[in-house]
Structure 1
């Protein structure tokens, strides 16, 4: 059964430009914050060390379309949906809304693909790896396409 992870926050002054409008790069940070919420809900760290090897999730593709601005002190909500789980990667879809009015305003749509990767302890080289089975199973339960 597909599940949406939700992340809410208020837009901070440091996230805005001189006009008080949130800078586009923050939308990607908010998408990552929603991903961190997802992993926390699964009881799995985004970055960890397994058998002396650092593991994490580098981004290999991100995109966003902006529909309306958000400003300083606006409350936003990011909805994350697991779109697809692959052997080494996870694809997410995002929708971001401005809250506070009678109806939420859809301000942006985004997507992100992350790859499970390990960093070689001696050389520092990063290479993709298969997502651990228990995490694959947990993510697939949330995915829109199984």
Structure 2
């Protein structure tokens, strides 16, 4: 998902605020699950862990690409990997600005604890995970 670093995405030092990375990753995650035709994923997949490694600065007006991929689907959890790349901009070369992982749990409406993923959702996600169980 391609975005532009907007003024609101920057902090007082002039580069991206850490929260902008999270918003772009969430948008890429939403795009992935829309493409998989799994709208039921969103209300039933709270984050239980998120790790962000910030590796380069992004600047106002710079184009960025955020990608999310499925690493693994477990019985009740799902591991995602993400990367945010800043395109070359105003004397700054293209660089990975952030990368990391997200773990979500399947907690369907009405449940207080994680439950096994439904078969249909698992079947749609497994090919996205490269066939890994």
Shared fold per TM-score greater than 0.5: yes
Matches within 5 A, 1:22-33: 22-33=16-27
Q: Using the alignment, how far apart are the partners of 2:44 and 2:9 within structure 1?
A: 26
Q: CA deviation at 1:115?
A: 0.9
Unpaired segments of 5 or more residues in structure 1?
1-6, 48-54
CA RMSD after TM alignment:
1.9
- What corresponds to 2:114 in structure 1? 128
Once the 2 structures are TM-superposed, how far is the Cα of residue 139 of structure 1 from its aligned partner?
1.0
Can you list the C-alpha shifts for 1:48-99, whole angstroms capped at 9, x where unaligned?
xxxxxxx421000000111110111111001212110111111011111001
**Mapped partners of 1:11, 1:43: distance in 2:** 28
Residue segments in structure 2 that go unaligned for 5+ positions in a row:
none
Runs of 4+ in 1 over 3 A off after TM superposition: 100-104
How has the CA–CA distance of structure 1 residues 97 and 18 changed in structure 2, closer, same or farther, with 3 Å as cutoff?
Answer: same
* Deviation at residue 118 of structure 1 after TM alignment: 2.0
Aligned to 2:98: 108
Residues 1-146 of structure 1: pairs in structure 2 closer than 5 A = 7-45=1-39, 46-47=41-42, 55-100=43-88, 104-120=94-110, 126-144=112-130, 146=132
- TM-score, reference length from structure 2: 0.87
SS of residue paired to 1:118: coil
More strand by share: 1
CA deviation string 1:95-136 (max 9, x = no partner): 11001459631111111001111232xxxx632121111111
- Choose between structure 1 and 2: higher helix proportion: 2
TM-score between both structures, scaled by the size of structure 1 = 0.79
